[in-house]
Amino acid sequence: MYDAPHTAEMKVNQKEIKFDCRDCQVYYGDTHAIKDVSVQIEDKTVTAFIGPSGCGKSTFLRCLNRMNDTIDVARVEGSFLLDGENIYDKKVDPVQLRAKVGMVFQKPNPFPKSIYDNIAYGPRIHGLAKNKTDLDDIVERSLRRGAIWDEVKDRLHASGTGLSGGQQQRLCIARAIATEPEVLLMDEPCSALDPIATGQVEELIDELRESYSVVIVTHSMQQAARVSQKTAFFHLGNLVEYGETGQIFTNPVDPRTESYITGRIG
Amino acid sequence: MPIFWLFLIVLAIAAVGFVIGRQRALQSAGGDSRGLHSLPGYYGWNVALKAMVPAFGLMVVWLLVQPIYVSSTVSGMIPESAIAEGSSMGLVMAEVRRAAEGLDSAVAAGAITEDFARNARADVADVTQRLKDAGQIVTSQITQPVLRAAQEYRILNNTGNLVMSGLVIAIALAGALYALRETNAVFRARNVVEQGVRALLIAAASIAVLTTLGIVLSLVFNTIEFFRLYPASEFFFGLNWAPSFSGRGGASDLGILPLLWGTLYISIVALLVAVPIGLFAAIYLSEYASRRLRAVAKPAIEVLAGIPTIVYGLFALLTVGPLLMEVFGKEGLGWMQSGTSVMTAGLVMGIMLIPFVSSLSDDIINAVPQAMRDGSYGLGATQSETIRQVVLPAALPGIVGAILLAASRAIGETMIVVLGAGAAARLDLNPFEAMTTVTAKIVSQLTGDADFASPEALVAFALGMTLFVITLGLNIFALYIVRKYREQYE
């Protein structure tokens, strides 16, 4: 679909492919929500999914860690290769997969537990800590990486729901990092946040790129332009265009992409 | 005039007022309803309301006040000497009322004339004889003061009723006329009706609250009366429950502790059955079951809540008791003497409580936001890990509320205990012993033939009051917890 015009430049930037998705279809009952989507998501890169509401970008994101399994009527077809292994293969345990492909949701959803327990939740489930000191380390490291340690270090045992919206979202990101995932999926992580909190989270996403492959769904084109290196534009269940962020925003190939970016369709 | 007829007459006045008011409003707007402030029907209702409300209000007040006034006037006529030894003013007044009713019925049956009934100088023996001939039940001998009082009682009541009828009809008419006079195109009839509706709703709500208050007061006065006859310390701390019925007071031991112990023990057994089963059923239904299964299974469980408790009692007595006897009775382990025991009642009561726990918990678990579950699944947790570590802790306050409501239900339960647990008040740890509860003893104390003024009967009110305070406390605690929980998500 993406016929790279600058092949030479591409080769220089070529990175390892983390997710290789081919001919993906998703049905909700009779609705065909995702049509023939093929996309290759690179490691240590921020990939942004943009597109109007209902275009299927969140649905596609949820396919990547099999969150659609929890919806009875959803049916997924096609091949989703994570490091060459199809995640919809029978021998893949979706629970294990989700530990490897973490997710941050649109609305901050800290558990009604203490900040410490929120972070320790994943490590405890997966047995990542040998002892209490080890767990303490994981919690501190995750909170530091989530850029929220300084704000909460004195009240680790206060409830996570008592934080502000931006702090809650960073807590949720820290919680996702704590299980040491390889890919981090973010479904409109800033839509419930004010500009300052959004700025903090975006900064955080940029830092996370060093160690993870990050996929972010966003409605804000400025945000996609700011944080991502690759951008995919979805429209009515189709992947219309996928390429370098700079190229998508300055010189889109498809007229629909241009219309969306300039605000003529939405 | 019978009250019923008076009621109908006022309704008729209101109905006529409705029609006239509607027409009058239309006329004042020249027959075009668009010229009116309100729809024509509102003008009709305005008239009907102003006819009915004051008239019925007066009627209710009059009907409440008249008996009090008549009684006090008539009782003033009865000299102290007319009250026999061992009798009381209350008994004499009851006799007066019976005699008055006898006279009424005899006049209605045509056995005596109205004049005769009113004749103050009538011979007492003659009147008694005539009443007896007319088939009226009267005490063996009506005394002169009683007859005079009965005659006065009739006269006062008759005049009272007559005056009331006149006044009520007059007020209904006056109200209707007043409303008709104010009816014109700019009158805001709609707002008046709105206020009327509001008043009606307030009245309904206050009746519910006042009834609760009345119940509490009736308990309080009798409880105070009981504590005057029986020391409170012995009631609350006495270890023995042994009311004597033959002795009429004195020798009774009325300690509440054995009963409270029985109540708590049976309730605990019931909750030990109901809470795990109900909670697990709720978790299955809300988290695992498919939508179709849930649509069938949830109402099926709630059928349990619709079974009358007496049927549960029979189930305890005829099925569960004998079943337990086979295992724990003389043939089996030998722990159980008879089919009625704490275990029998507790098990059956537990079954009764399952739908309370499951239905409420199911709602509460469903109210936990899907975002919580998504968050947990997104971290790689399994379904049962998610339920145990995220959903249940989030739903816990609500579930505790549900359990407390079930507990207050268990504490107040009577029929299952009467049939399943036996009647012996006992302080014992063995769950296969017969015990009894506060509620079961209230029934047996009030259905006996004890004098109503004796501590043996009055203790029922003290027991009821204690129970009321305990369940009220539990309910308030449950509501407090449930409310605190709601604030978290909404």
Give tens-digit pLDDT for B119-162.
766 677 777 777 777 666 666 566 777 778 888 888 888 888 89
- pLDDT of B122: 66
Does B395 lie in the same domain as B331?
yes
| Residue at a domain's end among B204, B222, B239 | B204
SS3 A231: strand
| Secondary structure of A75-138 in HEC code, one letter for each residue | EEEEEEEECCEECCCCCCCHHHHHHHEEEECCCCCCCCCEHHHHHHHHHHHHCCCCCHHHHHHH
**Mean per-residue pLDDT, B348-358:** 93
SS3 A33: strand
Read off the pLDDT of residues B312-333 as tens digits, 9 standing for 90 and up. Answer: 999 999 999 888 888 888 877 8
CA–CA separation, B325 and B333 (whole Å): 9
Under an 8 Å CB criterion, which residues of A touch B?
65, 67, 70, 72, 95-100, 102-105, 107, 109-113, 121-122, 125-126, 161, 172, 175-176, 179
Is there a contact between B375 and A111 if contact means CB atoms under 8 Å apart? yes
Phi, psi of A148 (to 5 degrees): -135, 0
**Quick one: CATH architecture of A6-107+183-261?**
3-Layer(aba) Sandwich (3.40)
Measure CB to CB from residue A95 to each of B373, B375, B380 and give the nearest one. Answer: B380
- pLDDT of A183: 92
Min Cα distance A12 → chain B (Å) is 34
- pLDDT of A10: 47
Q: Which residues of A touch B375 (CB under 8 A)?
A: 105, 109-111, 172, 175
> Domain total for chain B?
2
Q: Which residues of B touch A98 (CB under 8 A)?
A: 377-380
Does B359 lie in the same domain as B456?
yes
CA B12 to the chain's CA centroid: 33
**pLDDT interval class at B480 (50, 70, 90):** confident
Classify residue B236: in a domain, yes or no. no
Is 80 exceeded by the pLDDT of residue B245? no
- pLDDT of B457: 83
Q: With a threshold of 0.90, does the pTM exceed it?
A: no
Give residue B173's domain range.
2-204
Under an 8 Å CB criterion, which residues of B touch A?
290-291, 369, 371-382, 385, 389-390, 393-394, 488
Is there a contact between B377 and A109 if contact means CB atoms under 8 Å apart? no
Is there a contact between A111 and B379 if contact means CB atoms under 8 Å apart? no
Pick among A82, A103, A188 to test the B interface (most B CBs inside 10 A):
A103
- pLDDT of B205: 94
Handedness of CA A154, A160, A163, A167 (dihedral sign): positive
| Residue at a domain's end among B204, B224, B239 | B204
Average pLDDT, chain B: 85
Indicate the range of B26-35, B108-117, B216-225 predicted with least confidence.
B108-117
- pLDDT of A175: 93
Min Cα distance B294 → chain A (Å) is 14
DSSP B381-406: --HHHHIIIIIHHHHHHHHHHHHHHH
Pick among B292, B370, B379 to test the A interface (most A CBs inside 10 A):
B379
Stretches where chain A sits below pLDDT 70 are 1-14, 265-266
Pick among A95, A114, A116 to test the B interface (most B CBs inside 10 A):
A95
- pLDDT of B490: 41
| Residue at a domain's end among B204, B222, B238 | B204
Q: Which residues of B touch A120 (CB under 8 A)?
A: none
Does B265 lie in the same domain as B180?
no
Is there a contact between B380 and A109 if contact means CB atoms under 8 Å apart? no
Tokens 């850029």 -> residue: A147
Classify residue B219: in a domain, yes or no. no
**pLDDT interval class at B168 (50, 70, 90):** very high
Closest to B157 (Cα-Cα) out of B337, B3, B384, B339: B3
CA–CA separation, A162 and A168 (whole Å): 8
Is 60 exceeded by the pLDDT of residue B1? no
Strand partners, A106: none
B458 touches B229 (CB < 8 A):
yes
Higher pLDDT, B336 or B372: B372
The ipTM of this complex is 0.83
Q: Would you list the domain boundaries of chain A? A: 6-107+183-261
Does B261 lie in the same domain as B188?
no
Of chain B, the percentage scoring pLDDT greater than 70 comes to 93
Is there a contact between A105 and B379 if contact means CB atoms under 8 Å apart? no
Does B184 lie in the same domain as B110?
yes
CA–CA separation, B38 and B43 (whole Å): 7
Q: Which residues of B touch A96 (CB under 8 A)?
A: 380
Is there a contact between B380 and A175 if contact means CB atoms under 8 Å apart? no
Classify residue B218: in a domain, yes or no. no
Question: Which residues lie closer than 8 Å to B242 by C-beta, 6 or more apart?
Answer: B252, B253, B425
Is there a contact between A112 and B488 if contact means CB atoms under 8 Å apart? yes
- pLDDT of A53: 86
